[in-house]
Amino acid sequence: MNIELFIAQGILSKDKSNFSFPVIKLSIVSVALGLAIMIIAVAVTSGFKNTIADKVIGFGSHLQITSFNLNRSYETEPVLINQPFYPGLKDSAGIRHIQVFAAKSGLIKTENQIHGVVLKGIWTDFDWSFFQDKIIEGNRLNIDEKQQTDDVLISKKIMNTLQLNLGDAIRVYFVNPEEMTPRGRKFNIAGVYETGLEEFDDLYLIGDIRHVQRLNNWGNDEVSGFEVFVSNFRDIDRLTDMVYHSIGYDLNATSIKDIYPQIFEWLDLQDMNVIIILTLMIVVAAINMISTLLILILEKTNMIGVLKALGANNRSVRKIFLYNAAFIIVRGLFIGNLLGISIALLQKHFHLIKLNQESYYVSSVPIQLDFLPIVLLNVGTLVICLLFMLIPSHVIARISPVKAIRWD
């Protein structure tokens, strides 16, 4: 029989007359609030990072294969579509999909306004999964191999800026460096999308790739490049390096993190905020637990003296109070999990807390709850708090049995 555990269970009395009773309750609340805040912080940060990263990747893919030059503008050098890796690259381990694209910058002109845009040309191999819930009006494009379509997708932001409506015809002008006058093309607004990312919503039209090919005087076998989607974002660096070494010396493979470094650097900064929050919450909980344990030791000094007089050593008595601390922490963890997960689920399903989409790229606080981080938070909080408990437990060694018994 574990004598230390048996005694520890008896110490945490429910008698409210004990001096330590309100302190114990306060410690449980402290651990619970600390864990709840940590769960919410991790869930919000994961939600932000994954939601925004998915939006950027959905628009620009995980990595792009383009011509090997230093041109970072939207006027790209053509690449032949007939490549050894297309479309067979999608069968490689870790690669989910590959598709062609072409881009051409231009100006939308209405009676009163002019707006700069980029026409992103797509082909029949385009993956529409990202746009399934982003098209808020109209329909997605129907790209046919035999017949070119004049339909385009336009963002809600551009449509509102230019005071356009679904089904309207728009005139877009494109400039070629070798031509004196711009070329005009008439398009029909077939659908309206909204991603929440201003960098994309304020810029892109989605249309038939053959328009871009003709505007650039390219052949039907020439495109701006290839967009590659991987199965797991964590493998993006490794797969980018693999693709780079397998496509030939005249082509370049660039990951989305290098194409939009400002967005991914901003997302990485969120990890630092989480680390600060986790550190503060654990330190506060640990300090409260140290105070609680010292008060328990002070309150039970007489009992400690009796135990030592009966032959209990310092290690055995310390275990009693460490068991007490563990009981308090576990109760706090249970309440903290219940509170933190409940708040996170409410936000995830009902979007109670709204955000300015133009500033944060999302209309409400995103939540992503994963089992492993929650388990690690619980285990980490329990272990760290118990390690901190070793400090006050050494006070027990200084308690003399004779003086403790006399001090009643």
Per residue in 214-238, pLDDT (tens digit) is: 999 999 999 999 999 999 999 999 9
> Average pLDDT by consecutive 10-residue portion of the chain (408 residues)?
77 62 88 95 94 91 86 77 92 95 93 93 96 94 94 96 95 86 93 92 96 94 96 94 91 93 89 91 90 84 81 84 89 96 96 88 92 95 89 75 62
Q: What is the distance between the alpha carbons of residues 90 and 134, in angstroms, rounded to a whole number?
A: 25
The whole-model pTM stands at 0.86
Q: Which amino acid is at 163?
A: Q
Q: What is the distance between the alpha carbons of residues 2 and 75, in angstroms, rounded to a whole number?
A: 76
Q: What is the distance between the alpha carbons of residues 227 and 338, in angstroms, rounded to a whole number?
A: 43
Structure-token pair, residue 190: 């077939």
Would you say 143 and 123 are in contact if contact means Cβ atoms under 8 Å apart?
yes
pLDDT for residue 277: 92
Helices 314-350 and 301-309 pack at an angle, to 10 degrees, of: 140
Q: Are strands 151-155 and 204-208 parallel, antiparallel or unpaired?
A: antiparallel
The domain limits of the chain are 3-55+264-406, 69-248
Q: Are strands 169-174 and 204-208 parallel, antiparallel or unpaired?
A: unpaired
Q: Which among 169, 174, 204 is positioned nearest to 186, based on CA atoms?
A: 169
pLDDT for residue 312: 81
Q: Which amino acid is at 152?
A: V
CA distances from 22 to 29, 55, 65, 377, 405 (A): 11, 49, 64, 26, 25
Q: What is the distance between the alpha carbons of residues 129 and 138, in angstroms, rounded to a whole number?
A: 16
pLDDT for residue 334: 97
Residues, the chain: 408
pLDDT for residue 116: 94
pLDDT for residue 17: 58
Classify residue 172 by its DSSP letter: E
Q: How many CA atoms lie within 13 A of 162 on its CB side?
A: 26
Helices 314-350 and 3-11 pack at an angle, to 10 degrees, of: 60
Helices 314-350 and 261-299 pack at an angle, to 10 degrees, of: 140
Would you say 228 and 98 are in contact if contact means Cβ atoms under 8 Å apart?
yes
pLDDT for residue 407: 52
Would you say 42 and 373 are in contact if contact means Cβ atoms under 8 Å apart?
yes
Residues near 72 by Cβ (< 8 Å), separated by ≥ 6? none
Structure-token pair, residue 91: 């069968």
Q: Which among 390, 380, 392 is positioned nearest to 281, based on CA atoms?
A: 380
Would you say 225 and 66 are in contact if contact means Cβ atoms under 8 Å apart?
yes
pLDDT for residue 173: 95
pLDDT for residue 233: 93
Q: What is the distance between the alpha carbons of residues 231 and 238, in angstroms, rounded to a whole number?
A: 12
